[in-house]
Amino acid sequence: MKIAILTNECPPNIYGGAGVHVGHLMGELRMAEDGAHEVQVLCFGSQNEQLPGLKIQGIEPGRLFRLKDPGFDKVADALARDILMAGTLDRADVIHCHTWYTHFAGCLLKQLLRAPLVLTTHSLEPHRPWKEEQLGPAYKVSGWLEETAYRNADGVIAVSGAMKKDVQELYGVPPEKIRVIYNGIDTSVYTPRGDRTVLHKYGIDPEKPFLLFVGRITRQKGIIHLVRAIRHLIPGAQAVLCAGAPDTPEIGWEMETEVEKARRETANPIIWIPGFLPKEEITSLYALASMLVCPSIYEPFGLINVEAMACETPVVGSAVGGIPEIIVEGETGFLVPFEPLGENNPEPRDPEKFSKDLADAINRLLSEPALVREMGAKGRTRAEEVFSWKSIAQQTLEFYKELAER
């Protein structure tokens, strides 16, 4: 098959789970055992790489036009790149889009090439109302682009059962068009072997247990609720927050304020590492942590949970989205109950209770080192058996073939 993958993020330009997903998927598809497939990736950026069975081409339109409202620049840039993508691709047996940024291109190419359009649901715009802080009125445009694509798609890959339900309810996609295929990881990269020099580099005491957070500073990831939970932790623990790239200056300032407040209210050290760390350092922190904490208020899948489990580290995660499909409650970690404020507002109904419940689950693991080891071992086994990229790529190929034959 000739497979066209359209994406904003593509290695080395990665800032979220969609980019990680695309990087692994394109590699596995070109090496699939069932035949020699030709994979062409069109992405936002300057990439230009040619490998056997794989071509990666970045799309850079430059400043084609200027809108009166600068808040529309991000959407205008995406649309310009999408038009160039549609003019770049001349043949495909299947078109596979990742995130709303490329949905316009996917809809155009579906008509131009008469090829089936596949979308992967990494997230859904109506469930991320905080994006309006970033995009302003353009948030309505991104939502419209997303809805239009889902209503025109021939097939949808949901990264969790929860996302399948959301796609059906929000956009009326028939269940027979949706296939649940989880995200995956490379278990040869994410292993229990941690380099302890990383602890010294970032001022983490190797003699004290620590909880770990990894993610962007955004409403979605729930980082503020975790910071507020730190004052409830038992003595002797450390909180390591690998948190950077705030969505807006406002949430960046809020994060700074809450961290300073938490430091005044607890004797437990809070080590805040801003920005993104190299993969080998993050992997070491996963392996050496007592637990990963994933306090997301919206999480279509939650890839970091699988990464930590592969490193034999238990996970404390909020019971939202795809997280309950990753963590086995009481076996590979703990799920923290979560009640949203409303159908279209995913913020917690009782923020103080949510923070306290996070702290209770964290404290249980801090108090039981044997349980940490037991859950860690079970998490590694689950990561190997359920979330390998080879299996995920094969499931994706089977879905492509099914759509191409219709």
Cα–Cα distance, 397 to 103 (Å, whole number): 20
pLDDT of residue 110: 97
299 shares its domain with 393? no
Give helix then strand counts, H and E, for the chain: 14, 16
Residue 372's domain is classified under what CATH number? 3.40.50.2000
- What six digits make up the tokens of 99? 């995130």
Shared domain for 79 and 103, answered yes or no, is yes
Distance CA 79, CA 333 (A): 42
Q: Do 74 and 125 belong together in one domain?
A: yes
Contact 17, 301 (CB under 8 A): yes
What predicted TM-score, i.e. pTM, was given to this entire model? 0.80
Q: Which residue has the tokens 């437990």?
A: 268
For residues 157 and 393, the answer to whether their CB atoms sit within 8 Å is no
- With a CB cutoff of 8 Å and minimum separation 6, the contacts of 165 are none
- The answer to whether position 319 is within a domain reads yes
Closest CA to 239 of 295, 185, 162: 295
Domain shared by 206 and 271, yes or no: yes
Average pLDDT over every residue of 52-79: 82
Q: What is the mean pLDDT of the chain?
A: 93
Q: What is the mean pLDDT of residues 8-32?
A: 88
| Residue 334 zone, left/alpha/beta (φ > 0; ψ -120 to 50; rest) | beta
Q: pLDDT tens across 98-132, in order?
A: 999 999 999 999 999 999 999 999 888 888 877 77
Residues 6 or more apart in contact with residue 123 via CB below 8 angstroms: 99, 220, 298, 300
Looking at the structure, do residues 262 and 154 belong to the same domain, yes or no? no
Q: How far is the C-alpha of 94 from the C-alpha of 311, rounded, in Å?
A: 35
Check residue 64 and give its pLDDT. Answer: 62
At residue 391 the predicted structure's pLDDT band, cuts being 50, 70 and 90, is: confident
The token pair that represents 152 in the structure block: 């025109």
Structural domain tally of the chain? 2
Q: Domain limits at 72?
A: 2-184+388-404
Tokens of 30: 């070109």
Residue pLDDT, tens place only, 133-162: 777 778 889 899 999 999 999 999 999 999
Do 292 and 380 lie in one domain? The reply is yes
Same-domain status, 334 and 393: no
Element (H, E) at 363: helix 351-367
Q: Residue 189 is encoded by which pair of tokens?
A: 């990269």
Tell me, yes or no, whether 190 lies in a domain: no
Same domain, 348 and 205: yes
Contacts of 112-118 with CB under 8 Å at 24 or more apart are: 112/86, 113/89, 115/4, 116/154, 116/155, 116/400, 116/403, 116/404, 116/406, 117/149, 117/152, 117/153, 117/154, 117/155, 118/94, 118/153, 118/154, 118/155, 118/156, 118/157, 118/399, 118/400, 118/403
Cβ–Cβ under 8 Å, residues 3 and 29: yes
Cβ neighbours of 10 (radius 10 Å)? 25
